[in-house]
Amino acid sequence: MLVISFWAVGVLLIVVQTTLLEYLPLSAGRPDLLFVLIAFIAYRFAWIPGILLVFSLTWVLDVVAGIYLGLYPLVCLILFAGLKTLTIKSPVKESTYQIPLVGVSYLLMQIFFYFINSLLLPDMLPEWSWTGALQRTVLAVLAAIPLFILLNRLYEYFQQRRLRGKPPRRRQQRAV
């Protein structure tokens, strides 16, 4: 139930990201909402459900809006594994590292994408801009704050609902 619910949330974020956010001016930037969800999944879900969620959601986005099929799911799976490894049994309080780690990992993902693009298409490579990369990173961090609050509440709601369950029904005795 939890995986299916977050898969539906991911599809909703893909729809918002590929349709509604396209109307924002390019100079203002567009936050990568699915990236924030992937970071949240790395923090909250176990390995197998997390990998299934990340791969299926990034594959959907790659099919809908991808240039190089398979590149975005590969990068996001590497990112998921890295975030998951860094946060397992961390002695630091969760709220201290979650948002800054989203920013650092998003910046590293942009650098990795640029490197891969330089290998695949060196002729059509746009010039690297640190200000643009940092602007997109700050935008991802700012989008992560309210989205993490919303996703945490949704996660806790489904956890409580799953734990609560239904009380057992009593059998009625028939009169003989």
- Say if residue 167's pLDDT is above 70: no
Label residue 155 by pLDDT band (50, 70, 90): very high
Residue 140 tokens, joined = 């991802």
What residue type is 162 in one-letter code? R
The alpha-helical segments, DSSP class H, found in 32-169 are 33-44, 47-65, 71-87, 94-120, 130-164
- Closest C-alpha to 79, from 58, 65, 63, 49: 58
State residue 126's pLDDT score: 77
State residue 76's pLDDT score: 92
Roughly what angle, to the nearest 10 degrees, separates helices 33-44 and 47-65? Answer: 170
Q: How far is CA 87 from CA 69, 83, 102, 104, 149, in A?
A: 29, 6, 12, 14, 18
12-68: pLDDT as tens digits? 999 998 888 888 777 667 888 999 999 999 999 999 999 999 999 999 999 988 777
Structure letter (DSSP) for residue 111 = H
Label residue 129 by pLDDT band (50, 70, 90): confident
Kindly state the average pLDDT of the residues 87-113: 85
Kindly state the average pLDDT of the residues 73-81: 92
Q: Residue 48: CB partners within 8 Å, gap ≥ 6?
A: none
pLDDT > 90: what percent of the chain? 51
State residue 168's pLDDT score: 60
- Domains, the chain, in order of start with CATH, read 2-21+29-162 (1.10.1760)
State residue 55's pLDDT score: 96
Maximum average pLDDT range among 27-36, 89-98, 101-110, 117-126: 101-110
Residue carrying structure tokens 């699915």:
34
State residue 165's pLDDT score: 58
